[in-house]
Structure 1
Amino acid sequence: MKHYLLILSIILTTACKTFAQAGNIIEPEPITSALQKANMGKVVFEADTIPLEKLQQTDLLTGYEANAANNLYMRLLLANSLTNYQYSLQPSASVEQLNQGNFQFAFYVDGRQIYQENLHKGANLPIIKNTKTTIFVPFISNRGEDSWGRFLWGRFMNHGGDEALTAGKHQLKIEVRPYVTTPDLRVGELIAQGEIKFTVPAIDPKDAQLQPIKPGSGWQVSKESFDTKKIMEMNALIAGNRFKQITSVVVIKNGKLLIEEYFNGSARDSLHNPRSVGKTFASAMMGIAIHDGYIKSVNQTLKEFYDLKKFSNYSPQKDNVTLKSLLTMSSVFDADDNKSDSPGNEENMYPTDDWVKFTLGLKTDNSKAAGKQWNYFTAGVVVLGDIINKSVPDGLDKYSANKLFKPLGISNYRWQYTPQNVPNTAGGLQMRSLDYAKFGQLYKNAGVWNGKQVLPQSWVKDSFTKHLSLPKDVVGEGYYGYLFWNKTYKVNNKAYETYYCSGNGGNKIFIFTDQPLVVIITAEAYNTPYAHSQVDKMMRDYILPAVLQ
């Protein structure tokens, strides 16, 4: 019997190889791994990054427990390269045309399909599509890899995975197929599949309990009621790592502290790094500097502050770049942080020894209409900070301390600095959650704090103006003010508009326009696909339903 099975295995393997290699459009890499040969056509799961040549059958996971310490990696073990599988779907297509397609992934939980996606063509380089027969990516990882795998997993979780993978034991199954787009969309037969037992631990009830507001917060404590069950449900999801890397949630209602919750080792006195939330502080300081007469108006242009001809790529267009266009991210510089290949992408700025010189030396984009097209432009906010710094007495550091932080009673904060030792208005202004709440409440109070007009009321109004529509393909619905974002949440078929500061990782300061609410969420989910979407879910499904009247 064993002899018969051995012969049958050899026949099947040979047939599989023959079928895989027949009619190829491109030569795939040779399959030399014994483990790959033994698991051809499978999706396998691993807990660590082990090279294929060292991978043993015992390294493949049969089960996974979802907690913050455990990683989950996926490996496709294929009989051929993706491009050759696609070629069998569309033999008349060229390699370049086939590369416009990719893998289709289907996720099943307990036998029910939850999510299906045709992976974007940009996931995987052409050389990988053309030649690789094994592909290894993280799904769940605490190492922070920049990978399409983590983003794919995030989309699965956001589109039903969270609801399907409840506390308890589940069977997770993944099916993989090739797809092409030329001349039309076609999806091929199954080329890999795999299953794993997926366990979601139950939450310890004590981890979901509301945290009592301790004395010494600096806020009056609200006596208003709210739906404690909803907040406990949210706390349980944070404790269970369903909402990941959340560090605090603070809710101010009618100017009083209603909810104060800390997670993942954070506490009241923790200084958080909310990344680009700090940009909005630059907007506030610009408003104060204009009110004090150190800067004339938002209509001033760069040529009034710099000799632009001394910088690279001079163009008369630069002369007319206004402060307003930098505040609304609508200048004509050739820059877009949402495009990795953009010359003005912020990642190109940080390694340089002079960030202002980098920014002012960028080319202009003739396709942009000044003040009309929104593109996220971190480097432009650095220039705003430099302009404030050189315009106000004693520089931005001392000016912000005296004009903003001291009036708000904020003493425990930490700026980051540019190479020229100017406060970094690109982001990273670290504070306590309760102090971010003061900043949000200042705007909610139309610039007034403890009876004093700290921020001009007119500046708050201009900041909370829909100057530009946000591109739907980048950020979805919404508008942009003076370094403020705008969006509307819908809860129980009612709309609730908010202006908010936003930073990498899911950090937010929400100020609601028609409700007496300021909400702070801090998080450390930096560079993850779920950072902002999970905050939206927290707001829409838990926080707002709990505190709205």
Structure 2
Amino acid sequence: MKRLFMLIVISLSAIVKLFAQVTDIVPADPVTLPIHKANIGRIIFMTDTIPAAKCTEADILKELTLTSESNLSMRAFMETSLTNYQHRLAPNLTVEQLNQGNYQFTFYVDGKQMYQENLNKGAGYARNKNGRTTLGIKLISTQHEDMWSRYLFTRFMVRGGGEDALTTGTHVIKIELRPYVSIPDLKVGDIIAQGELKVVIPIIEVKHKAIQPIAPNSGWAVSTETYNKQLITDLNEKVLQNKFKNITSVVVIKNNKLLIEEYFNGSGRDTLHDPRSVGKTFAGATMGIAIQEGYIKSELQTLKDFYDLKAYKNYSPQKDGVTLKSLLTMSSVFDANDNDDDSPGNENNMYPTPNWVQFALDLKTDSSKTAYKSWNYFTAGVVVLGDVLNKTVPGGLDKYADAKLFKPLGITNYKWQYTPQNVPNTAGGIRLRAVDFARFGQLYKNKGVWNGKQIIPQNWVEKSFTKQMVLPADVVGKGYYGYLFWNKTYTINNKPYETWYCTGNGGNKIFIFKDVPLVIVVTATAYNEGYAHAQIDKMMQNYILPAVLK
């Protein structure tokens, strides 16, 4: 009788365990590959995203020397798919509800947790989350692909402090992968895969990170003022270690003399840099000259003075009131916002069209917007400004800007890009040497004067450097906008330093400081990278400004 009782207990226990076990909610890819079976629960690192079926032990990285040429990928080997792991966390949720969650990534450097992120539900396809039992992604790529995984790794490095933690020497990066669900509340599961990689940050030889001597014939008088050379040497080291990425030049003008001239990543003094939207401000400068010379009455003129707006699509009386000033201040009423991918007037919708001006003037207006009140970045509007100039100044914009702006500044080595109508591309299509971008900045610092001659009217410089618009906090933080110039303030040693600046995709900048005799140019090619602008602020805040300010 006692034996029968024990058998019943054992049987009941087995039944309870059977029913307590949560079965999979979706069919997952079978685990058949030897490398998969041998590495379940492990993240391996490689130089490329090799398919699991072709991956061998020889492909697995044990150590990576991190340079500007490095590529890094990872592959997580799991027992089942993400969706099934999530189902174990929340058995009552549907597949669609589970797909509202994703992976949680946790990054460590030398055993210290640096960054953790619950991936947005949109990172990765639902079919992969439901079926895949491996996760292969790129973390660092010299090809700069548009991938959520690269941006995630950048956030770990920049926002999470990975860059600062990875000092010269050898470190260990560890990644942990967990599932999470977000309905009805956030719930995170146990680790489903983890892995470590030894990372070496190379020592930069003294001769390579040393301050570069200023060669003759720059077109600038060379400054003899002192500055903190150790900070600039440290900055050079960070650039060479790829801590500051894709930087091509740093030029500092102090008291109208060339103080610092540094080049990186294969660039040199004669390199024509592509600073993207920095070029917009050249349209603003030329507009000021054209108004002074009477070819345009004022920036308060409206588009109907230059175009038959009724000949374009979506005409409304609102368009009649659009002024040149509203385009200069990014405050027009067009239904356009470059910072919104879904905006009809987003610049990415303009480039494939055969006529960029027509694209802009065909746009609807937004009845919720009020001129000079609603700030929205509108590249196509600056294309219209360039076209207005091209129509009104003698010889067209190309010849006029050369005669009235570039030649007086002594700039002869430059290159425009052009619109489909062969008009200089004022969206941001002009290339200059870094020392010549500095000339443009110094011209504004001099209130429009160069070599004793008034090139740009002083009142135009003053209007350009007036806080015409308050920038939305989600765009750039606390700041202002003038006539195609941005405004912000750096705080160095508890002192504020206000600057007006041009800025362009990739991290390109011309800074003109208000109360100190400084013009600073930084050029870079970190196009479309999330770190592009943040790293320039870090360079300015921690290295360049502390080095040159007394």
Q: Same fold (TM over 0.5)?
A: yes
- Alignment match, 1:105: 105
CA–CA distance in 1 between the matches of 2:368 and 2:85?
A: 40
- Alignment match, 1:546: 547
Q: Which moved more, 1:174-183 or 1:484-493?
A: 174-183
- Alignment match, 2:230: 229
**1:374 counterpart letter in structure 2:** W
Post-superposition shift, 1:413?
A: 0.4
Distance of aligned partners of 1:162 and 1:304 in 2 relative to their CA distance in 1, 3 Å threshold: same
- Alignment match, 2:389: 388
- Alignment match, 1:14: none
CA–CA distance in 2 between the matches of 1:51 and 1:364?
A: 49
Correspondence 1:30-41 to 2 at 5 A: 30-31=30-31, 33-41=33-41
Asked if the contact 2:210/2:236 (under 8 Å) is kept, the reply is yes
- Alignment match, 2:201: 200
CA–CA distance in 2 between the matches of 1:399 and 1:123?
A: 49
Correspondence 1:427-442 to 2 at 5 A: 427-442=428-443
Correspondence 1:147-296 to 2 at 5 A: 147-158=147-158, 159-296=160-297
Deviations 1:428-461 (A, max 9, x none): 2100111000000011111111111111111111
CA–CA distance in 1 between the matches of 2:342 and 2:76?
A: 29
Distance of aligned partners of 1:239 and 1:181 in 2 relative to their CA distance in 1, 3 Å threshold: same
- Alignment match, 1:52: 52
CA–CA distance in 2 between the matches of 1:463 and 1:94?
A: 56
Task: Give the alignment's Cα RMSD to 1 decimal.
Answer: 2.0
CA–CA distance in 2 between the matches of 1:131 and 1:339?
A: 33
**2:476 counterpart letter in structure 1:** V
Asked if the contact 2:418/2:429 (under 8 Å) is kept, the reply is no
CA–CA distance in 1 between the matches of 2:539 and 2:468?
A: 27
**1:507 counterpart letter in structure 2:** N
CA–CA distance in 2 between the matches of 1:458 and 1:46?
A: 58
Secondary structure of the corresponding residue to residue 474 of structure 1: helix
CA–CA distance in 2 between the matches of 1:303 and 1:413?
A: 33
- Alignment match, 2:137: 137
Q: Identical aligned pairs, as a percentage?
A: 64
Q: Which moved more, 1:496-505 or 1:177-186?
A: 177-186
Give the unaligned 5+ runs of structure 2. 1-17
- Alignment match, 1:5: none
**2:105 counterpart letter in structure 1:** F
Deviations 1:278-299 (A, max 9, x none): 0111111111111111112222
Secondary structure of the corresponding residue to residue 151 of structure 1: helix
Post-superposition shift, 1:479?
A: 1.6
Distance of aligned partners of 1:363 and 1:540 in 2 relative to their CA distance in 1, 3 Å threshold: same
Secondary structure of the corresponding residue to residue 431 of structure 2: coil
Query: 2:446 aligned with 1:454, yes or no?
Result: no
Post-superposition shift, 1:62?
A: 1.8
Post-superposition shift, 1:335?
A: 2.0
**2:392 counterpart letter in structure 1:** S
Asked if the contact 1:137/1:148 (under 8 Å) is kept, the reply is no
Distance of aligned partners of 1:473 and 1:122 in 2 relative to their CA distance in 1, 3 Å threshold: farther
**1:115 counterpart letter in structure 2:** Y
- Alignment match, 1:404: 405
Distance of aligned partners of 1:509 and 1:354 in 2 relative to their CA distance in 1, 3 Å threshold: same
CA–CA distance in 2 between the matches of 1:539 and 1:311?
A: 45
**2:68 counterpart letter in structure 1:** A
**2:135 counterpart letter in structure 1:** I
- Alignment match, 2:327: 326
Distance of aligned partners of 1:336 and 1:39 in 2 relative to their CA distance in 1, 3 Å threshold: farther
Query: 2:472 aligned with 1:471, yes or no?
Result: yes
- Alignment match, 1:504: 505
**2:344 counterpart letter in structure 1:** P
Secondary structure of the corresponding residue to residue 137 of structure 2: strand
CA–CA distance in 1 between the matches of 2:201 and 2:348?
A: 37
Q: Which moved more, 1:55-64 or 1:278-287?
A: 55-64
- Alignment match, 1:520: 521
Asked if the contact 1:488/1:497 (under 8 Å) is kept, the reply is yes
Asked if the contact 1:274/1:427 (under 8 Å) is kept, the reply is yes
Deviations 1:70-121 (A, max 9, x none): 2011223333333443343344445454444332221111111122222333
Distance of aligned partners of 1:181 and 1:540 in 2 relative to their CA distance in 1, 3 Å threshold: same
Post-superposition shift, 1:381?
A: 1.0
CA–CA distance in 2 between the matches of 1:487 and 1:121?
A: 34
Asked if the contact 1:150/1:529 (under 8 Å) is kept, the reply is no
**1:428 counterpart letter in structure 2:** G
Asked if the contact 1:407/1:449 (under 8 Å) is kept, the reply is yes
Asked if the contact 1:151/1:529 (under 8 Å) is kept, the reply is yes
Post-superposition shift, 1:156?
A: 1.5
- Alignment match, 1:75: 75
Give the unaligned 5+ runs of structure 1. 1-17
Deviations 1:255-292 (A, max 9, x none): 11111111111111111111111011111111111111
Post-superposition shift, 1:209?
A: 0.7
Asked if the contact 1:150/1:528 (under 8 Å) is kept, the reply is no
Distance of aligned partners of 1:172 and 1:459 in 2 relative to their CA distance in 1, 3 Å threshold: same
Correspondence 1:405-424 to 2 at 5 A: 405-424=406-425
**2:318 counterpart letter in structure 1:** Q
Q: Which moved more, 1:338-347 or 1:535-544?
A: 338-347
Correspondence 1:310-321 to 2 at 5 A: 310-321=311-322
How high is the TM-score relative to the length of structure 2?
Answer: 0.92
**1:70 counterpart letter in structure 2:** S
Query: 2:356 aligned with 1:343, yes or no?
Result: no
Q: Which moved more, 1:62-71 or 1:309-318?
A: 309-318
**1:279 counterpart letter in structure 2:** K
CA–CA distance in 2 between the matches of 1:83 and 1:460?
A: 59
Distance of aligned partners of 1:500 and 1:132 in 2 relative to their CA distance in 1, 3 Å threshold: farther
Distance of aligned partners of 1:453 and 1:98 in 2 relative to their CA distance in 1, 3 Å threshold: farther
Secondary structure of the corresponding residue to residue 414 of structure 2: coil
Secondary structure of the corresponding residue to residue 170 of structure 1: strand
- Alignment match, 2:491: 490
Asked if the contact 1:138/1:145 (under 8 Å) is kept, the reply is no
Deviations 1:44-85 (A, max 9, x none): 211023233322232121211101222011223333333443
Deviations 1:226-274 (A, max 9, x none): 0000000001111122111111110001111111111111111111111
**Structure with max Cα Rg:** 2
- Alignment match, 2:298: 297
Deviations 1:306-365 (A, max 9, x none): 112222222222222221221121222222222223222212211111111112112223
Distance of aligned partners of 1:27 and 1:480 in 2 relative to their CA distance in 1, 3 Å threshold: farther
Post-superposition shift, 1:544?
A: 0.4
How high is the TM-score relative to the length of structure 1?
Answer: 0.92
Secondary structure of the corresponding residue to residue 276 of structure 1: helix
CA–CA distance in 1 between the matches of 2:246 and 2:423?
A: 30
